[in-house]
Amino acid sequence: MTRKKRRLVLLLVCGLGVGSAAALTLFAFSDNLVFFVTPSDLAKNNPGTRSVRLGGLVEQGTLVRSTAGDPTARFAVTDGTARVKVTYRGLLPDLFREGQGVVALGAMQPDGTFKASEVLAKHDENYMPKEVAEALKKSGQWNPASGAAPPPASTWNTPANNPTAKTGS
């Protein structure tokens, strides 16, 4: 075995070692690496009065805003199986709407609601022009407030969905 070959083998063995060590560490800590817990997680193990981040979709038809005095918002956060009622006093981010993913920092109250001190909006990975969003909503193919994902982007560019596509190309 030449010296180069020996160094290469040594490097590969070290890489394997470091890689598996990192994988095991990450696997062991995976519960602690999440940025937020879902409503189902909260239902399974109650954090008590400890402060947690709650993440999920703003359920359709549950948002009630009041602008008397400090702006307050009440809404339910759902992950499809469980739901948690959230109250928040303060300014909501611009992207906040029904059907949007949100992450709320706060704690559970004795009455079973979640009192948030901070609400962040979670943007999904879909980027679409305004015209496409309007066309999809109008044709009934997609309702953003329901929280469902829009149809795949490859179907957006049909003339029915994108009025500019015909003149653009």
Partner 1 sequence: MAVTMDAPSQAAPSRQGRSLHRFANPGRFLRLSKAVFPWLMACGWLITLVGLAWGFFYAPADWQQGDTSRIMYIHVPSAWLASAGYFSLAIASAVGLVWRHPLADVAAAEISPVGAGFTALCLATGSLWGKPTWGAWWVWDARLTSVLVLFFLYLGHIALVRAFDNPERGARAGAILALVGVVNLPIIKFSVDWWNTLHQPASIGLTGSPSIAASMLWPLLISVIGYTLVFAALVVARMRAAVMERRIRGLLMARATTDAATDQDAFA
Give me the residues that bind partner 1 (CB under 8 A), please: 4, 7-8, 11, 14-15, 18-19, 22, 26, 30, 33-38, 55, 92-95, 103, 118-134, 152-154, 156-157, 164, 168
Least distance from C-beta 111 to partner 1, angstroms? 26
Least distance from C-beta 59 to partner 1, angstroms? 18
Residue with token string 């470091």:
18
Q: Nearer to partner 1 by C-beta: 107 or 133?
A: 133
Q: Would you call 19 helix, strand, or coil by DSSP?
A: helix
Q: Nearer to partner 1 by C-beta: 35 or 110?
A: 35
Q: 60-65: long-range contacts (C-beta < 8 A, 24 or more apart)?
A: 60/98, 60/99, 60/145, 60/146, 60/147, 61/98, 61/145, 62/98, 63/97, 63/98
Q: How many CB atoms lie within 10 A of CB 160?
A: 13
Least distance from C-beta 112 to partner 1, angstroms? 22
Q: Nearer to partner 1 by C-beta: 83 or 137?
A: 137
Residues 130, 136, 142, 146, Cα dihedral to 10°: 40
Q: Nearer to partner 1 by C-beta: 33 or 68?
A: 33
Q: Nearer to partner 1 by C-beta: 7 or 65?
A: 7
Least distance from C-beta 18 to partner 1, angstroms? 6
Judging by DSSP bridges, how do beta strands 83-89 and 114-122 pair with one another?
Answer: parallel
Least distance from C-beta 8 to partner 1, angstroms? 5
CA distance 118 to 99: 18
